[in-house]
Amino acid sequence: MPSPRDIDPSTPAIRFEGVEKRFGDNVVLQGLDFEVARGDRVTLIGPSGSGKTTILRLVMTLEEANEGYIFIDGQPLTHTDEGGKRVALKERHRNEMRKRIGMVFQQFNLFPNMSVMENLIEAPVHVLGLSKADAVERGRELLARVGLVDKEDAHPSSLSGGQQQRVAIARALAMDPEILLLDEVTSALDPEIVGEVLEILRDVARTTDITMLIVTHEMHFARDVSNRVMMFDGGRVIEQGDPETIFTAPTHERTKSFLSAVLGT
Amino acid sequence: MSGGWNWQHVWDSLPTLLEGFLTVTLLVTVVGSVIAAVLGLVLELLRRSAPAPLAALLTFVVNFIRMTPIVVQLMFAYFALLALDPLTIGIVVFGIHYATYMAEVYRAGIDSVPQGQWEATTALSMSRGRTWRAVIVPQAVRATLPSLGNYVISMFKDTPFLIAITVPDMISNALRYGGDHFRFTEVIVVAGVIFLIASYPTSVLIRKLEQRIAFTT
């Protein structure tokens, strides 16, 4: 398997091809095609239930598509087409693909049985094979980056929601992901601490070339960090473009009504 | 056999009662608990990961053990394995019997670990083995400590059944003393009090342990 560094930069980081996802009889995504170029920051907007979070969960392999294919760096993620037949790929392959992808969750999902530092070094040591000393050093750098240097021995339950989410961001970055998925990362936070989390993500966006796929209700944040916004409704992309255009001059009626509802204009 | 309470019998029987308590009752409880706690976890993990036929067999065996009295199991093992000494048989049977209950406790504990924890391990590409060892089991065990502790106390109180396989525990020593002196009331009361004195600190100890290894809040 070629390492991400050897891949032709014009290969999209993420590509969906005819993806369909159903939960029982409920069709969440249907015939979905889209691409995210390497280094792109794409925000998915749209009413709840429009399938935005499902897209992130499909990329993280937390859910499996019922139809269609997802490619990461041009390589199939969970299923491949073999002479017109849709074939599931083995767990070993999926796990190799996963290593390129990180995710930050709405509910943080830190490991409560581990200290902050243990949370940060668990996967680098046991998945990437870093030495403990190297992982701790990197962990400290990341804690400095998210403004929590003095918290490495703290337990997650002693931290505020905003602090926990900052640790979760550091934990995802510790794996040096090529793609970062942000799933409503500020939705569980008190309004006054949303800013501190978003500021860190702005900094990550500024200082790295990580491809980001973002689901958020923070439209200012979406506008600041993303170079493309995709408006979802009923499991389809109904409109997309650069944030300036989408937020100031949307063409689709659904986009207009959605934006006026969330922006309160 | 009548004639009021005689403190002399309390003091005279105490050494043999305490000897039975320390060398059998306590020993079987402590070693039996360790076996039950470890084997119970192994049983539950096997039941979850083994191929369906083996998992079904395990479920059957677990149910069989849970649905038959421990006295019957003690006597069966005693007569079937005459070569082994009764104390060893007692420890192993108590360990296995309670392992089947603790397996059920672990099942509930594992189910109580939030879905988000599993998802985080996937997002970090952690292996199945590492996910269980580093994330799921530590959290499940913490969630189950109160129930596990209650089964330890329950096992402790079941140890008098050892009399059925001639192990000289505290109660059989009490009965022997009673038989020798034609006085049973005092020794049985003393044995009961010793159980109480031991159970209560044990329950306190378990609660302390729970607090000590609970997640810092």
Average pLDDT over residues A240-262: 90
Nearest CB among B119, B124, B215 relative to A123 is that of: B124
Question: Under an 8 A CB cutoff, do B125 and A99 touch?
Answer: yes
CA distance B92 to A3: 53
Question: Under an 8 A CB cutoff, do B215 and A157 touch?
Answer: yes
Average pLDDT over residues A206-229: 92
CA distance A99 to A129: 12
Q: With contact defined as beta carbons under 8 Å apart, do A189 and A159 qualify? A: no
Q: With contact defined as beta carbons under 8 Å apart, do B25 and B156 qualify? A: yes
Q: With contact defined as beta carbons under 8 Å apart, do B54 and B46 qualify? A: yes
Q: What is the pLDDT of residue A183?
A: 95
Question: Under an 8 A CB cutoff, do B119 and A62 touch?
Answer: yes
Between B33-37, B38-42, B190-194, the lowest mean confidence (pLDDT) is in B190-194
> For the sheet containing A101-104, what is the strand order?
A101-104, A179-183, A211-215, A41-45, A228-233, A236-241
Bridging pattern class, strands A211-215 and A67-72:
unpaired
Q: What is the pLDDT of residue B216?
A: 47
Q: Which two tokens stand for residue A30?
A: 């249907």
Q: What is the pLDDT of residue B138?
A: 92
Considering the domain boundaries, does residue A150 fall inside one?
no
Question: Under an 8 A CB cutoff, do B134 and A155 touch?
Answer: no
B135 touches chain A (CB under 8 A): yes
What are the Cα distances from residue A170, in Å, to A114, A141, A200, A226? 15, 9, 10, 20
Contact residues, chain B, for A179 at CB < 8 Å: none
Residues A101-112: pLDDT tens digits? 999 999 999 999
pTM beyond 0.80: the answer is: yes
- Side chain identity at A212, as an amino acid letter? M
Q: With contact defined as beta carbons under 8 Å apart, do B94 and B32 qualify? A: yes
Considering the domain boundaries, does residue A49 fall inside one?
yes
Q: What is the pLDDT of residue A118?
A: 97
Kindly indicate the confidence band of residue A89, based on its pLDDT and cuts at 50, 70 and 90. very high
| Alpha-carbon distance A257 to nearest alpha carbon in chain B (angstroms) | 33
Question: Under an 8 A CB cutoff, do A95 and B123 touch?
Answer: no
Considering the domain boundaries, does residue A28 fall inside one?
yes
Range of the domain at B130: 7-213
Considering the domain boundaries, does residue A40 fall inside one?
yes
B211 touches chain A (CB under 8 A): no
CA distance A99 to A175: 7
Considering the domain boundaries, does residue B2 fall inside one?
no
CA distance B140 to B151: 16
Q: What is the pLDDT of residue B172?
A: 87
**Is it the case that residue A2 has pLDDT exceeding 80?**
no
Considering the domain boundaries, does residue B136 fall inside one?
yes
Which residues have a Cβ under 8 Å from the Cβ of A19 and sit 6 or more positions away? Answer: A29, A31, A32, A33, A58, A65, A67, A68, A69, A70
Q: Is B197 exposed, middle or buried (0-12, 13-18, 19+ CB in 10 A)?
A: exposed
If you search the block for the tokens 């409503």, which residue do you land on? A184
| Alpha-carbon distance A67 to nearest alpha carbon in chain B (angstroms) | 22
**Is it the case that residue B1 has pLDDT exceeding 60?**
no
What residues pair up with A82 in beta bridges, in sequence order? A85
Average pLDDT over residues B50-59: 91
Q: What would the DSSP string read from start to end of chain B?
A: --SS--HHHHHHHHHHHHHHIIIIIIHHHHHHHHHHHHHHHHHHHHHHHS-HHHHHHHHHHHHHHHTS-HHHHHHHHHHHTTTS-HHHHHHHHHHHHHHHHHHHHHHHHHHTS-HHHHHHHHHTT--HHHIIIIIIHHHHHHHHHHHHHHHHHHHHHHGGGGGGGT---HHHHHHHHHHHHT--HHHHHHHHHHHHHHHHHHHHHHHHHHHHHSPP-
Q: What is the pLDDT of residue A50?
A: 80
Kindly indicate the confidence band of residue A153, based on its pLDDT and cuts at 50, 70 and 90. very high
Number of domains in chain A: 1
Average pLDDT over residues B32-44: 95
Contact residues, chain B, for A126 at CB < 8 Å: 126-127, 130, 134
Nearest CB among B120, B135, B217 relative to A105 is that of: B120
Q: What is the pLDDT of residue B124?
A: 97
Average pLDDT over residues A195-203: 92
- Side chain identity at B82, as an amino acid letter? L
A243 touches chain B (CB under 8 A): no
CA distance B110 to A180: 29
Task: Supply the CATH number for residue B119's domain.
Answer: 1.10.3720.10
Question: Under an 8 A CB cutoff, do A61 and B117 touch?
Answer: no
Which helix (H) or strand (E) segment holds residue A238: the answer is strand A236-241
Considering the domain boundaries, does residue B18 fall inside one?
yes
Number of domains in chain B: 1
Considering the domain boundaries, does residue A233 fall inside one?
yes
Residues A12-50: pLDDT tens digits? 999 999 999 999 988 899 999 999 999 999 999 988 878
Q: What is the pLDDT of residue B217?
A: 39
Residues A129-147: pLDDT tens digits? 999 999 999 999 999 999 9
B119 touches chain A (CB under 8 A): yes
**Is it the case that residue B40 has pLDDT exceeding 60?**
yes
Average pLDDT over residues B21-37: 92
Considering the domain boundaries, does residue B134 fall inside one?
yes
Task: Supply the CATH number for residue A264's domain.
Answer: 3.40.50.300
Q: What is the dihedral of CA A137, B139, B209, B152, to 10 degrees?
A: -150
Q: Which two tokens stand for residue A168?
A: 């979760």
Question: Under an 8 A CB cutoff, do B215 and A155 touch?
Answer: yes
Average pLDDT over residues B143-166: 89
Nearest residue to A15 (alpha-carbon basis) of A66, A64, A63, A58: A58
Range of the domain at A251: 1-99+228-265
Q: Which two tokens stand for residue B166?
A: 């001639």
CA distance B179 to B195: 21
Mean pLDDT of chain A: 92
Between A55-59, A126-130, A164-168, B8-12, the lowest mean confidence (pLDDT) is in B8-12
Question: Under an 8 A CB cutoff, do A175 and B125 touch?
Answer: yes
Considering the domain boundaries, does residue A124 fall inside one?
no
Q: What are phi and psi of A7, to 5 degrees?
A: -85, 140
B215 touches chain A (CB under 8 A): yes
CB interface of A with B, residues 144-173, below 8 Å: 154-158, 171-172
Contact residues, chain A, for B135 at CB < 8 Å: 111, 113
Question: Under an 8 A CB cutoff, do B134 and A60 touch?
Answer: no
Nearest CB among A101, A109, A113 relative to B120 is that of: A109
Residues B99-117: pLDDT tens digits? 999 999 999 999 999 999 9
Tell which wins on pLDDT, B3 or A170: A170
Radius of gyration of chain B (CA): 21
State in Å, rounded, how far the first CA of chain B is from the last one: 58
Q: What is the dihedral of CA A76, A78, A80, A84, to 10 degrees?
A: -140
Q: With contact defined as beta carbons under 8 Å apart, do A113 and B142 qualify? A: yes
Q: What is the pLDDT of residue A126?
A: 96
A64 touches chain B (CB under 8 A): no
Considering the domain boundaries, does residue A237 fall inside one?
yes
Q: What is the pLDDT of residue A159?
A: 95
